[in-house]
Chain A
Protein backbone atom coordinates (compact mmCIF):
# COMPACT_ATOMS: atom_id res chain seq x y z
CA UNK A 1 0.00 0.00 0.00
CA UNK A 2 1.11 3.58 -0.57
CA UNK A 3 3.05 5.26 2.22
CA UNK A 4 2.68 8.73 3.65
CA UNK A 5 3.10 11.30 0.89
CA UNK A 6 4.35 14.79 1.58
CA UNK A 7 4.54 17.58 -0.95
CA UNK A 8 6.56 19.45 -1.90
CA UNK A 9 9.87 17.73 -1.03
CA UNK A 10 11.87 20.96 -1.08
CA UNK A 11 10.90 24.58 -0.71
CA UNK A 12 12.80 27.85 -0.59
CA UNK A 13 10.97 30.90 0.73
CA UNK A 14 11.96 34.38 1.80
CA UNK A 15 11.35 35.89 5.21
CA UNK A 16 7.85 37.22 5.69
CA UNK A 17 6.26 34.88 3.17
CA UNK A 18 3.88 32.11 4.04
CA UNK A 19 3.98 28.45 3.09
CA UNK A 20 1.56 25.53 2.95
CA UNK A 21 2.73 21.94 3.21
CA UNK A 22 0.62 18.93 2.33
CA UNK A 23 0.42 15.40 3.69
CA UNK A 24 -1.57 12.40 2.51
CA UNK A 25 -1.65 9.65 5.15
CA UNK A 26 -1.77 5.92 4.63
CA UNK A 27 -5.24 4.84 3.59
CA UNK A 28 -7.28 4.04 6.68
CA UNK A 29 -5.16 6.11 9.04
CA UNK A 30 -7.21 8.87 10.60
CA UNK A 31 -4.51 10.34 12.85
CA UNK A 32 -2.02 12.74 11.29
CA UNK A 33 0.73 14.44 13.26
CA UNK A 34 3.29 17.03 12.25
CA UNK A 35 6.83 17.41 13.56
CA UNK A 36 9.59 19.92 12.94
CA UNK A 37 13.08 18.43 12.81
CA UNK A 38 16.20 20.52 13.22
CA UNK A 39 19.76 19.39 14.04
CA UNK A 40 19.78 21.19 17.37
CA UNK A 41 16.28 20.47 18.65
CA UNK A 42 15.49 17.06 17.24
CA UNK A 43 11.85 16.23 16.52
CA UNK A 44 9.52 18.86 17.94
CA UNK A 45 5.78 18.13 18.07
CA UNK A 46 3.65 20.67 16.18
CA UNK A 47 0.13 19.27 16.24
CA UNK A 48 -2.03 16.21 15.79
CA UNK A 49 -5.28 15.87 13.88
CA UNK A 50 -7.85 13.16 14.15
CA UNK A 51 -11.09 13.09 12.15
CA UNK A 52 -10.67 16.73 11.08
CA UNK A 53 -10.18 17.94 14.68
CA UNK A 54 -6.97 19.22 16.22
CA UNK A 55 -6.51 16.90 19.15
CA UNK A 56 -3.16 18.10 20.48
CA UNK A 57 -0.86 21.02 19.96
CA UNK A 58 2.81 21.60 20.71
CA UNK A 59 4.51 24.75 21.92
CA UNK A 60 4.80 26.64 18.65
CA UNK A 61 3.64 30.20 17.97
CA UNK A 62 0.31 30.89 16.32
CA UNK A 63 2.07 31.39 12.98
CA UNK A 64 1.99 27.62 12.71
CA UNK A 65 -1.42 26.21 11.93
CA UNK A 66 -2.90 23.17 10.32
CA UNK A 67 -6.05 21.43 9.28
CA UNK A 68 -7.30 18.04 8.26
CA UNK A 69 -9.82 17.26 5.56
CA UNK A 70 -12.58 14.66 5.50
CA UNK A 71 -10.34 12.28 3.50
CA UNK A 72 -7.71 12.55 6.32
CA UNK A 73 -5.31 14.55 4.17
CA UNK A 74 -3.69 17.31 6.17
CA UNK A 75 -2.05 20.63 5.51
CA UNK A 76 0.09 22.81 7.69
CA UNK A 77 0.65 26.49 7.15
CA UNK A 78 3.38 28.78 8.40
CA UNK A 79 2.81 32.50 8.04
CA UNK A 80 5.32 35.33 8.27
CA UNK A 81 8.27 33.01 7.84
CA UNK A 82 11.40 33.55 9.92
CA UNK A 83 14.92 32.27 9.27
CA UNK A 84 14.55 29.96 12.27
CA UNK A 85 11.68 28.15 10.57
CA UNK A 86 14.16 26.46 8.23
CA UNK A 87 13.79 22.77 9.02
CA UNK A 88 12.59 19.40 7.85
CA UNK A 89 8.84 19.15 8.40
CA UNK A 90 7.68 15.61 8.89
CA UNK A 91 4.17 14.30 8.71
CA UNK A 92 3.25 10.99 10.33
CA UNK A 93 0.09 8.95 10.24
CA UNK A 94 -0.98 6.17 12.53
CA UNK A 95 -3.70 3.70 13.41
CA UNK A 96 -5.25 3.93 16.82
CA UNK A 97 -7.03 1.63 19.21
CA UNK A 98 -8.76 3.82 21.72
CA UNK A 99 -6.08 6.26 22.82
CA UNK A 100 -3.14 4.00 21.97
CA UNK A 101 -1.15 5.02 18.92
CA UNK A 102 0.27 2.04 17.02
CA UNK A 103 3.47 3.62 15.87
CA UNK A 104 3.93 6.32 13.30
CA UNK A 105 4.59 5.94 9.60
CA UNK A 106 6.50 9.02 8.56
CA UNK A 107 6.56 10.70 5.19
CA UNK A 108 9.85 11.70 3.58
CA UNK A 109 9.35 15.25 4.78
CA UNK A 110 9.40 18.72 3.28
CA UNK A 111 12.74 20.49 3.53
CA UNK A 112 11.94 24.19 4.04
CA UNK A 113 14.68 26.77 3.66
CA UNK A 114 13.92 30.37 4.59
CA UNK A 115 16.32 32.96 3.16
Chain B
Protein backbone atom coordinates (compact mmCIF):
# COMPACT_ATOMS: atom_id res chain seq x y z
CA UNK B 1 0.00 0.00 0.00
CA UNK B 2 0.93 3.66 -0.07
CA UNK B 3 3.53 4.49 2.54
CA UNK B 4 5.55 7.49 3.53
CA UNK B 5 8.53 6.62 5.69
CA UNK B 6 10.22 9.27 7.77
CA UNK B 7 13.53 9.02 9.60
CA UNK B 8 14.80 9.41 12.19
CA UNK B 9 11.94 8.96 14.63
CA UNK B 10 13.72 11.01 17.31
CA UNK B 11 16.64 13.41 17.20
CA UNK B 12 18.42 15.09 20.08
CA UNK B 13 20.75 17.90 19.10
CA UNK B 14 22.76 20.49 20.98
CA UNK B 15 21.46 24.01 20.47
CA UNK B 16 23.32 25.47 17.51
CA UNK B 17 23.81 22.15 15.75
CA UNK B 18 22.16 21.29 12.46
CA UNK B 19 19.23 18.89 12.06
CA UNK B 20 17.89 16.92 9.10
CA UNK B 21 14.83 14.72 8.68
CA UNK B 22 14.23 12.53 5.65
CA UNK B 23 11.07 11.36 3.98
CA UNK B 24 10.68 8.52 1.46
CA UNK B 25 7.57 7.46 -0.41
CA UNK B 26 6.90 4.06 -1.92
CA UNK B 27 5.15 5.79 -4.84
CA UNK B 28 5.71 8.92 -6.91
CA UNK B 29 4.14 11.96 -5.32
CA UNK B 30 2.22 14.87 -6.83
CA UNK B 31 3.69 17.11 -4.17
CA UNK B 32 5.08 16.99 -0.66
CA UNK B 33 4.20 19.17 2.28
CA UNK B 34 5.96 19.75 5.59
CA UNK B 35 4.33 20.49 8.91
CA UNK B 36 5.54 21.31 12.41
CA UNK B 37 3.67 20.29 15.55
CA UNK B 38 4.70 21.79 18.86
CA UNK B 39 4.12 19.72 22.01
CA UNK B 40 0.43 19.88 22.89
CA UNK B 41 -0.41 21.65 19.64
CA UNK B 42 -1.67 20.77 16.21
CA UNK B 43 0.30 20.48 12.96
CA UNK B 44 1.08 23.77 11.27
CA UNK B 45 1.80 23.95 7.56
CA UNK B 46 5.34 25.01 6.70
CA UNK B 47 5.76 24.58 2.96
CA UNK B 48 4.78 22.67 -0.16
CA UNK B 49 7.12 21.39 -2.87
CA UNK B 50 5.71 20.48 -6.26
CA UNK B 51 8.49 20.34 -8.85
CA UNK B 52 11.07 17.60 -9.29
CA UNK B 53 14.37 18.67 -7.69
CA UNK B 54 12.81 21.73 -6.08
CA UNK B 55 14.63 23.45 -3.22
CA UNK B 56 13.01 26.09 -1.03
CA UNK B 57 14.35 28.03 1.94
CA UNK B 58 12.66 29.66 4.88
CA UNK B 59 15.27 31.44 7.00
CA UNK B 60 17.22 28.58 8.63
CA UNK B 61 15.03 25.85 7.08
CA UNK B 62 15.87 24.25 3.72
CA UNK B 63 13.43 21.90 2.01
CA UNK B 64 14.29 19.63 -0.91
CA UNK B 65 12.17 17.45 -3.19
CA UNK B 66 13.93 14.62 -4.97
CA UNK B 67 14.33 14.31 -8.72
CA UNK B 68 12.07 11.26 -8.81
CA UNK B 69 9.48 12.98 -6.58
CA UNK B 70 9.67 10.10 -4.10
CA UNK B 71 11.82 11.61 -1.38
CA UNK B 72 12.28 14.86 0.46
CA UNK B 73 14.30 16.37 3.26
CA UNK B 74 14.09 19.20 5.75
CA UNK B 75 17.33 20.68 7.06
CA UNK B 76 17.52 23.16 9.91
CA UNK B 77 20.75 25.12 10.30
CA UNK B 78 21.92 26.18 13.76
CA UNK B 79 18.94 24.92 15.74
CA UNK B 80 17.30 27.08 18.38
CA UNK B 81 15.06 26.12 21.30
CA UNK B 82 12.07 27.41 19.32
CA UNK B 83 12.65 24.60 16.80
CA UNK B 84 11.49 21.98 19.31
CA UNK B 85 8.58 19.90 18.06
CA UNK B 86 7.68 17.12 15.68
CA UNK B 87 8.23 17.62 11.97
CA UNK B 88 5.96 15.73 9.58
CA UNK B 89 6.17 15.27 5.87
CA UNK B 90 2.98 14.56 3.96
CA UNK B 91 2.91 13.28 0.41
CA UNK B 92 0.00 13.79 -1.94
CA UNK B 93 -0.46 10.55 -3.82
CA UNK B 94 -1.62 10.11 -7.40
CA UNK B 95 -5.10 9.27 -6.10
CA UNK B 96 -5.00 12.61 -4.24
CA UNK B 97 -4.81 11.07 -0.76
CA UNK B 98 -2.38 12.87 1.51
CA UNK B 99 -0.35 10.40 3.54
CA UNK B 100 1.69 11.59 6.50
CA UNK B 101 5.00 10.23 7.67
CA UNK B 102 5.18 9.31 11.36
CA UNK B 103 7.23 12.39 12.09
CA UNK B 104 10.60 13.21 13.56
CA UNK B 105 10.57 14.53 17.11
CA UNK B 106 13.29 17.12 17.58
CA UNK B 107 14.62 17.77 21.07
CA UNK B 108 17.10 20.57 21.68
CA UNK B 109 19.68 20.27 24.44
CA UNK B 110 20.62 23.69 25.88
Size bracket, chain A contacts: 20 to 34
- B66 at interface (Cβ–Cβ under 8 A)? no
A residues touching B (Cβ–Cβ < 8 Å)? 33, 35, 41-45, 48, 55-56, 58-59, 90, 92, 99-109
A35/B100 contact (C-beta < 8 A), A56-B95, A102-B48 known: yes
B residues touching A (Cβ–Cβ < 8 Å)? 1, 30-31, 33, 35, 41-45, 47-48, 50, 88, 90, 92, 95-103
Bound complex: CA A33 to CA B45 (Å): 14
Q: For A55, what are the chain B residues with a Cβ–Cβ distance below 8 Å?
A: 96
Q: Judging by beta carbons under 8 Å apart, are A56 and B103 in contact?
A: no
A104/B45 contact (C-beta < 8 A), A45-B100, A99-B30, A99-B96 known: yes
Q: Judging by beta carbons under 8 Å apart, are A105 and B100 in contact?
A: no
* Among B42, B45, B48, contact of A109 (Cβ-Cβ < 8 Å): B42
Q: Judging by beta carbons under 8 Å apart, are A107 and B42 in contact?
A: yes
Q: For A108, what are the chain B residues with a Cβ–Cβ distance below 8 Å?
A: 41-42
Bound complex: CA A89 to CA B44 (Å): 15
A106/B42 contact (C-beta < 8 A), A35-B100, A56-B96, A99-B30 known: yes
